[in-house]
Structure 1
Amino acid sequence: MRRALALVVAAVLTSEGSAYIDTLYPLQQFIEESEVIAEGVVEKTDAKKGICLVRLKKSIKGKCPYALFRLNVGIGQEWHPEAVMPHLVAGAPAVIFYNAERRAEVYVNRFFLQFSGDAGQIAEKAWWSFTHVEVHCTRTFNGTAEELARILVDVQAGTIKPPPADPKAPPATKDAIKSLPVWGQPVDVEKLPAPFVRRDPSKPRKSRDPENPQGLEKGLAVQVFEGIWDSLPDFDALKPVATGTAAQFDLANRRRDEHYGLRFTGFIDIPREGAYTFHTTSDDGTRLRIGNEEIVTNDGVHVAKEASGEIPLKAGRHPITLLYFQGGGPAALEVLWEGPDLPKQKVPAAALTHTPAP
């Protein structure tokens, strides 16, 4: 393990942090860089104290000396502990990877969590400290922990190869984790949040059907919010300070220069069927959805930077939502697209419409 790698706790679950794995990280690399891979089960969780105990079941690679993994989840950064704790339910299966320095990742059902431990502490007294959800490692694997454990056993036995990474899998987000069923609840795989939908990266995705509603007007509906945040808030829980329309995705509707948020909603007119890539460049955070699928995640407080995502679309009008917040200092917002016979460019006003308010 050359960087923070591997505890994988399988329960159900899964801002820009200090040590995200942001490159494409295949499962084979997780395996090779792990000193130990083990399977466990969540034994007990204390939400008030922010701790979780995971009981070892068996070692998959190497020999695990930890009969019990003591996880300090509550000290994690930003929204991550709040999102993770509800998923750490008793009985949830767990898989565990770690290296010699006790750098670790925790996989909870369909996402990875980063932990660090004290290599000098005896196993009976050791604690592991949570830092953050590995939001980009949905590209590594996003099935259940039970599936992951079976795959790892078979890989170690030499009967199969690890599944390939999916470079187009969207990152895990706070909203996606909150809407993911916790372990033990019924799961409709067709309705899982986009970051946790498994697909074969070698096969093309089915193009999304358009809605093509009638009675639309030019531009986008926009809501303006004000507050101090370090990541995108839940705008549904907030009351907008103003509403209006916007010709394009820009900051013209803001009422002040710092500490505000914008929610744009409407439809985008897709000229022909094919794979479309959307890009947001923002300072600070943005999130772009087509229908209910999150396509671009560019959340957190940061300088202007670009993030991208792809979706296959049929010709016609599709619902589009863009969330943006400004956390102080400079501000920037731009949305671009590219697709069949369409070079990368700013989304034009002519492609944007919205349903007028009653």
Structure 2
Amino acid sequence: MTTRWLKVMLLSMTTAMAAHGSVTKADFGKMPDGTAVDIYTLKSDAIEARITTYGARVVGIKTADRDGKVGDVVLGYNTLEEYLADNKTYFGAIVGRYGNRIAKGAFAIDGKTYEVPKNNNGNSLHGGTLGFDRMVWQGRAIADGVEMTLVSKDGDQGFPGTLTAHVRYTVHHNALRIDYSMSTDKATVVNLTNHAYFNLAGEGSGTILGEEMMIAADKFTPVDAGLIPTGELVPVEGTPFDFRKAYVIGARINDNNEQLKIAGGYDHNWVLRGANGETKTAARSYDPGSGRVLTVTTTEPGVQFYSGNFLDGSFKGKSGAAYTKNTGLCLETQHFPDSPNHPSFPTTLLKPGETRHSMTTFTFTTQAK
């Protein structure tokens, strides 16, 4: 074997190894009842993600801008105590058992009505008053990442069935991938998603209104005054919800539009192109200042684009800056809100003997000026 070929092989091996992630575990504090909380740091050659067992949360994602400067692009806190004190924002958490809203906190399965906590203007939001975001998950290091496991017992927050949820976070070069797996011993409804808030200029650096957004959807689900879908699938064409081509987020957010007024901005579900279960692009966000680009792909049928309308400065983040309105955005891949009460929506029903899988990937790149 020639020296030249040996060098090529070594370079290829080094590149391949660098694309894979390293995983380290550390203490992140204790719950009021003494339960230990851990934090895992996942590193590849291009990104670093920190995941805590409290709420299976993304605490931070570090990635370089177009000039190579590394910054944290996810809103959050430095300590467990700060997360415990915040019961409003769901920063970085896995929300469930049912992410997003269920109208009037009620739904029926096989003719039986179930009631869950009404914690959002008479509706149920993100699983109720004690959702998955407030639970300590069991963490386990795996190749390139961490697997989080939670067992939600039958009757938890009023939901039927003992649900076992596995959420795997892995890093692959410039991407953070989330794989969800859910099973139950009794028919139930489930809709898990991650509630990370992104600011591609860096957390604490101001609003996201100057970022450009593309959403690969021709329709969205309009809502009533309680942010519950009406059941319609409305074309985005001719509305401020048309992001089929990239638009600056702040360009139309204050338009005289009833849907924007109801939500105080964007807080809606878009109906993604492609079949449920098929991997597809959901959205692409670009920050002109830093050059960072976030591309979201998923197997889910919808994505909730939330422009941080309810952030009010009550909480200060990792950098010490107050998180005010529009200082972060969420791209929550999901089944549609209130699906249990809309038979025409893709079903969120999960039955015994079934295992539901879904996948979402957040990929970070840069774009020249």
After TM superposition, the score normalised by the length of structure 2 is 0.27
* Structure with max Cα Rg: 1
Using CA pairs below 8 Å that are at least 6 residues apart, which structure has the higher relative contact order? 2
